[in-house]
Amino acid sequence: MRIRHSTYIRNFATIVLGLTLLLIAGAWYTAEPTTPVHAQSATITFVGQRNNKTNAATSLVVNKPTGVVQNNLLIASAVTDTTTNDVICPPSVTSCGSSEWIQLSKTTQGALVLYTWYKVAGGSEPASYRFTTLFTKKFAVGIVAYRGTDTTNPVNVFGALGTAVTTRIIPAPQINTSKPNTLLVQTYAQLHTQSVTFGSYQPTPPTMNERFDVTTTSGSRLSFAMSDQVFSSMGTTPSPRLVWSSRTGSVTNPISSISHLLALRPPNQPPTAGVSPTSIDLPYPTSDSATLTATSVDVDGSIVSWSWIKTNGPAGDNDTITSPNIEDTGVSWAYPPVTGTYTYRLTVTDNESVTGSGTVTVTIPTNLPPFVDAGTDIELTTPSQTTRTLLGSASDEQGGPPAPTVEWTKRPGSPAGGEISSPTSPVTDVTGLITTSPGTYTYRLTATDNLGLTASDEMTITVPQSYPPIVSAGPDPASIELPDQNTVTLNGTVQSNGAPIESVQWTEGQFATDNPPNPAGDTIVYPIGPTTDITFTQGGTYNYLLTATDANGKFATDTVRVIVTMAGNALPVVDAGADQAIDLPGQTSVTLSGSATDANGPLPLTYTWSKVSGPVGGTIQSPNSQTTEITGLSNAGTYVFRLTAKDGWGGTGTDDVAITAGVPAFSTVAPVSGVIWASSIGWISLGGASGGNVQVDTSNGAFSGFAWASNIGYINFAPTGTAPNGKNCSTTPCAVLDIGAPTKNKVVSGWIRACSVLTTSATNCSGSTMKSDALRGGWDGWIKLYDADPIQPPGWTNPPIWTSLMTSDTSLWGTPYDPFGFNGVFYDDLLGFAWGGIVVGWIDFFGASVLMPVPILNVVELQQDFGDVWVGTTKDMDFTVENIGDLGSFLRGIATVLDTTYFTCVNNCDYSVAGIPVGTPRLVTIRFTSPMTAATGLTTQVNFTGTNTTPPSSLLRTVLGNAIIPVFGNGLSFGNVVVGRYRELTLTFSNAGSVDLGMDTVVMPFPEYTCIPSCVADLSPGFVNNITIRFTPTAVQTYNGDAYLENNPTVTFPFTGAGVLGAFQFKDQ
């Protein structure tokens, strides 16, 4: 058991592959900050004219403290004037009297524009103190004056308040190689400035996004986004300058850094409309709407608007775009739609008003007339044929139901008689044909589709000038046996039918249509005349043709068959297969598969297919094979085909098979194709290749039949019993199609029932064909369907029939649990997990944890004693390898014997091609060959290895003697648990085999995992253990480890081992 303190992406297949998901959001690239540049410690000298009694000049020297940057000046000390009555006056002042004047001049580097001086230490200041600030141009030093009458403490300390305007040239930004399209700019600490000008450079490309994060020493952050770009001429290239107008700081809150100075952005890329598919062909006129879909992308911004318009279409079009200003929309036509090709363009606009577009064409084909076939022309052969059957057919592949209407009419110019019995049926009789005088009856079959388009076809019944002779070759004679009998007599009869008979002749049957040639060794003794003898020297089946021709050139034929056997030879017994029926025009071909047995004839048998009778058509694709395809069965009627098998002595046997081709009457029950969506199950194919046959009654929308869902099994659309809402589905349709809605909006409402079965011939979700035990992975539950609009399934181009699953009305095998304490009340949704067996796995209802299967088959060691074997003899041991995985899965692999000196695999060792399907165990035989001298302790290892098909997944189970060893693997995640709280996992498991494994202890990987009440497990067969594992994290970290059974190292617990199967339930505290 692997326990992780982390979050997992759920995947409910039995085999899970690792997936890394990278999310790319619209984030800013920013320059990496550099080390702040601090001004060096410097001595700033202020020169003052000091007026005293001698009027001598004195300099005041102020030392700038280390670590304080230049533009945040703080005067820490000054020279003290010790003369009580001395005053310091400006140069222009000749006498200061009792006042003090101090003139300060900055003599070090830099040019200060503005300083405001104020007193930060010193004697008390009377209210008469005043401050005077003078300015000069070009950053001249300002004259700051202090005046007062206090001489008690004439020396004071002054500080600078940082509102100075400083122009500082910052080196040109460098391209940041670690992050494309960004510039790397030095970060300057504690800049008391209102503008920063960058050194000369030419941005490439010139379009920039400016965003500036300004951090003050108090920790507050100010962001500035340039509304315009200010360029100053410095050399030959422009330089962008960051400007802000507000005060940026003070002595107590100076600017400490400016970072993320510049981010270059490539030129805006136009968005991509991504229309898919780009062409749609609608069936006409069964569909009058289409869905227009697109996946719009803007790689460097966002899309703010969508606009669908039609750019081309046929004249008189009647289409409407449903919602022209959304990404996915629809277009519909007033019925009937105008045929032709329509072009629609989607234009998308990004956040910088740049556009991109894509187009899609929708083609509505012209309505074609229905298909109509009046059948084969008929020529009467006897005057007694006064009634004949017309075998017509009609269909409309475009129009769909209802089927086209038909009408038979007798064409002008036809003889009298020949009345139509059922003129509105494709198959009808005509009666009262006048057969005593020649003539031609012409009949027309007209078909009309649901849009009024018609088509017609004609057939004729011909009364000949004269009728051909009446010929009979006589009954087939009894078979003869060589060598005792070698001659038969054929007694044919010929009768004139209005003209004298001129010739009568016997010929071999190979000249007859579709009859196989006769074997060699026969002689027609009297070929001229109705009676003849035939002599034989070889056994076989012989066909002979009697032909009579009259004076008008009319002829008729008949055949007879003679079977000749050899003494003691049994003829082959032939089976041509069961009779078949097909519906025209949808099916025009069948496959015939015959067989034959021969008790004593030399093998192999040879086979010949031939056509015996039927309408025109019916081509035999493989006439000399046991199995053949018959194509071209396009005319209604009954086709008869014969399979002949011949043995080595020439003995033959035959059997006939009939194929009936007809046009079915329209039924209100029609098959349903498409898909429906169930959120916790996935897409359900209504006519999928894996099985299922769903029908809907078009009169009331009631469903019936089965559909297949790959991860759940069969779903019954007409279940028995009572649904959770109290409706009895045995008497009232539970799943109903909204037949009144447009095709693309059809929904299924009501209830269906899901069940996994062991065979594909299920008839319902109850009784012996349904399993509901966890060991075999059975599942049985009700699913409520309701109107919803899920996403289109991948690759699906036709409008599906929508449905969805409402989890609050779903009942599953197992007990769903609410880990957050809402008990299923929160939004009427179930929370937690329910176990659906091996086929379904865990079903997640907003839970925080999930069972994660591992994509490997874990090795389980098996031991079996061959016992005592005589020297020089062999002994076989059988193993059963069984796949107990998902329905439809195959396990492919090989059984390998490592030491082949005395051990070999002799049966079913390689199952890598054929595979092991679910429910079909494979017997593997290992043979031990004892050496010529006595020996003991001869051992080997047999590895059963394989790969699973996903989805679904396979599980390997080997049966050794009476021990059942299922081999499968899973990983387990507790998810994220808050430190100080805990999450519990209730582990239910048992030994499903018959070998007693005794008592054992579950060993935990970390002290944060504890067992409640204890970790002791009873592994005797059939005993059910219930152990609760509590995970209580003590720190925010990842906990990865395996729990295992202490005394059985070959079994990893709880997911692999000697017949151990389990079910789990989470609980939060």
State which fold the 970-1068 domain adopts.
Answer: Immunoglobulin-like (2.60.40)
Neighbours of 545 (CB within 10 A): 20
Q: Could you give the 3-state DSSP secondary structure of residue 839? A: helix
**CA triple 567-568-569, angle to 5 deg:** 95
Question: Residue range 695-701: average pLDDT?
Answer: 62
Question: Residue range 194-221: average pLDDT?
Answer: 38
pLDDT at residue number 601:
67
d(CA 418, CA 424): 16
From 238-242, 376-380, 546-550, 610-614, the region with the lowest mean pLDDT: 238-242
CB of 994 closer than 8 Å to CB of 964: yes
Of the candidates 910, 907, 908, 897, the residue with the CA atom closest to the CA atom of residue 941: 897
Structure confidence at residue 1029 as a pLDDT band (50, 70, 90): confident
pLDDT at residue number 1057:
23
CB of 1066 closer than 8 Å to CB of 832: yes
Q: Is the pLDDT of residue 18 over 80?
A: no
Structure confidence at residue 177 as a pLDDT band (50, 70, 90): low
d(CA 298, CA 350): 7
Of the candidates 903, 632, 682, 880, the residue with the CA atom closest to the CA atom of residue 794: 682
Structure confidence at residue 926 as a pLDDT band (50, 70, 90): confident
Of the candidates 778, 762, 765, the residue with the CA atom closest to the CA atom of residue 812: 778
CB of 657 closer than 8 Å to CB of 398: no
Structure tokens at 903: 């051990």
From 56-60, 98-102, 238-242, 849-853, the region with the lowest mean pLDDT: 849-853
C-alpha distances out from residue 164 to 75, 110, 141, 248, Å: 16, 12, 12, 11
| CATH superfamily of domain region 371-463 | Immunoglobulins (2.60.40.10)
Question: Residue range 555-568: average pLDDT?
Answer: 86
Question: Hey, which of 29-43, 829-843, 944-958 has the most confident mean pLDDT?
Answer: 944-958
pLDDT at residue number 443:
96
d(CA 387, CA 418): 8
> β-pairing, 890-897 with 850-853?
unpaired
What is the residue extent of each domain of the chain?
169-261, 279-364, 371-463, 470-566, 573-662, 669-847, 874-960, 970-1068
From 244-253, 665-674, 740-749, the region with the lowest mean pLDDT: 244-253
Say if 279-364 and 970-1068 have the same CATH topology. yes
Could you tell me which residues come within 8 angstroms of residue 754 by beta carbon, excluding any fewer than 6 positions away? 681, 709, 712, 713, 714, 715, 716, 765, 779, 780, 781, 782, 783
Of the candidates 167, 166, 164, 168, the residue with the CA atom closest to the CA atom of residue 114: 164
State which fold the 279-364 domain adopts.
Answer: Immunoglobulin-like (2.60.40)
Structure tokens at 527: 């070929």
Query: Own/partner pairs for 89-94, CB < 8 Å, 24+ apart?
Result: 89/49, 89/50, 89/51, 90/49, 90/143, 90/145, 91/49, 93/51, 94/51
DSSP 66: T
Q: Return the percentage of the chain with pLDDT > 70, whole number.
A: 45
Q: Is the pLDDT of residue 122 over 80?
A: no
pLDDT at residue number 553:
85
Q: What is the pLDDT of residues 474-487, one digit of tens each?
A: 998 888 888 888 99
CB of 943 closer than 8 Å to CB of 909: no
For residue 615, whether the previous peptide bond is cis, meaning omega lies within 30 degrees of 0, is: no
From 18-22, 447-451, 611-615, 686-690, the region with the lowest mean pLDDT: 18-22
Question: Residue range 970-994: average pLDDT?
Answer: 63
d(CA 408, CA 425): 8
Question: Residue range 780-792: average pLDDT?
Answer: 45
From 136-145, 435-444, 514-523, 573-582, the region with the lowest mean pLDDT: 136-145
pLDDT at residue number 634:
80
Q: What is the pLDDT of residues 820-875, one digit of tens each?
A: 332 322 222 233 333 333 333 333 333 222 222 322 333 334 456 677 778 778 88
Could you tell me which residues come within 8 angstroms of residue 21 by beta carbon, excluding any fewer than 6 positions away? 9
Strand partners, 332: 289, 320
Structure confidence at residue 946 as a pLDDT band (50, 70, 90): low
d(CA 640, CA 644): 13
d(CA 1000, CA 590): 63
**CATH number listed for the domain at residues 573-662:** 2.60.40.10
Structure tokens at 316: 């008189």
Query: If you average pLDDT over every residue of the chain, what do you get?
Result: 61
Segments of 18-168 assigned E as strands: 43-48, 58-63, 116-121, 130-134, 143-147, 157-161
Neighbours of 397 (CB within 10 A): 12
Q: Is the pLDDT of residue 1062 over 60?
A: no
- Kindly indicate whether the domain formed by 470-566 is annotated with CATH number 2.60.40.10: yes
Helix (H) or strand (E) holding 202: none
Q: What is the pLDDT of residues 364-404, one digit of tens each?
A: 888 788 889 999 999 888 888 889 999 998 887 665 556 78
From 2-11, 412-421, 443-452, the region with the lowest mean pLDDT: 2-11
More confident residue, 132 or 397: 397
From 34-38, 691-695, 701-705, 759-763, the region with the lowest mean pLDDT: 34-38
Structure confidence at residue 1002 as a pLDDT band (50, 70, 90): confident
CB of 601 closer than 8 Å to CB of 570: yes
Structure tokens at 502: 């001129």
